[in-house]
Amino acid sequence: MNQNVFVILLIACGLIFKVQISNAQESIVDTSKVRILRIDPATANGGSTSQVFEAIDFIPLQTTKESMFGDINQLETNENFYIIFDDDTKCILIFDKSGIFKNKINIGKIIGGKIDPQDIDVHSFKLVDSKLIEFSTTNKTYKFDTEAKQIGEPIDIKREHISNQSYYFKDSTHVKSYFYVNSNFLYQYVYFMNGKIKSKYFKLETGKNSSEGDFAVGGPSFIETTDHEKLYGVRNYDYNIYQLDNNGISIAYRLIFPSKNTLPKDFNTNKIYKGKKMQYFFKNAENIFGIGYTYGIGDYLYFKCGSLSSSIRKNGSFVYDLKNDYLISLNRLDPDSLSHNLPIIGTWDNDFKKFDGNYLYASLSSLELFSYYEQVKKKNLQYPVAMQNYFKKGSKKDNPVIIRLKPKKVS
């Protein structure tokens, strides 16, 4: 199953592990400065893209036999390149900023030539100092440059955490996601100071029951904001947006949904739901099982709701104007001249891939874009040159198109 699919079984992401029961002390989350946001997906406002964004660019990714891939599961950028991880093919692909294919790292061939990508336990990579591509298997770390040349020999490691994601604050504090404490107890976030554990948050239940019906909302472990010393994080079956900074974790926002969309208060504690969460959501499709992609940009909070309801699947991406208490549905924004008369966001399993401090990045499949193009073809709409050539020479089977959006920061 594709890692970027909005509803994902945690077991497919490698998050299910058998560990011993522990009484290890969990750090306390600060709840003193929570801001309540009341959210009704059904009544969110529409509008034009120019209400939310200052500039929008479309970058078709060159499609050749060598560069063809399935989906953008992870997107990183530096001054010269877009670097993409595709979980379907287990490849890291490198395109220049105009979308021209440059290089590819085939992880299967690198670690032993396995044919079936499902046998490869690699789901992401790290971009170190904007120029070094690093990924880890269960026992080794590999390093490559942006020319897809391997740097040195693979390094033997003891893999202590799952996502291999770390974030360093300006002081000596850093935080790791999905980290085993003493190789026994798994926590969603663990803080370190001078190489020693400072605090740990959100012990994760693992084992048999957690593999029977867990849904998760997409998005990275550390979600960027315009303040480099503040990150956001989310949890399953939880409507809080957590703020991570060098002092620890606090609740920044709590989203309140209409009762028809809200989980039972005891959903995470009542044993009647244990191991039966999947069945529950199929019977209660309107319930929102979580939120994700919670980017904080200036006065705007971007987020996505997860639900099996068709209405929320088609209208689940939002931006909240924190200054004016105004909710906008990104799915209901009409294409206009700023978006070059093209849609900017997909439905269900597609959302923003990255925020680099200046731009948000999204993507749309060629199937989605060509389907839209065929619907409006008779209107003779004007598109930028790159997209004119794309529609003229491409097809629904081409690579995805990256969408670069400059969000407004002050409303």
| Residue spans per domain, the chain | 8-15+28-407
Residue 116, pLDDT > 70, answer no
**In what helix (H) or strand (E) does residue 105 lie, and over which residues does it extend?**
strand 101-106
Residue 260 confidence class, pLDDT cut points 50, 70, 90: very high
Q: 9-18, 101-110, 399-408: which has the highest mean pLDDT? A: 399-408
**What is the per-residue DSSP string for 38-70?**
E--GGG-EEEEGGGTEEEEEEEEPP--TTT--S
**Residue % of the chain over a pLDDT of 70:** 86
What number is the average pLDDT over the span 130-140? 86
Cβ(266)–Cβ(257) below 8 Å: no
Which residue has better confidence, 213 or 74? Answer: 74
Rounded Cα–Cα distance for residues 387 and 331 (Å)? 21
**In what helix (H) or strand (E) does residue 177 lie, and over which residues does it extend?**
strand 173-181
Q: Note the pLDDT of residue 122.
A: 81
The residue behind tokens 């009544």 is 43
Residue 335, pLDDT > 70, answer yes
What number is the average pLDDT over the span 236-255? 96
What number is the average pLDDT over the span 171-190? 84
Rounded Cα–Cα distance for residues 299 and 313 (Å)? 25
Cβ(304)–Cβ(312) below 8 Å: no
What is the dotted CATH code of the domain comprising 8-15+28-407?
2.120.10
Q: Note the pLDDT of residue 17.
A: 36
What number is the average pLDDT over the span 211-221? 64
The overall average pLDDT reported for the chain is 86
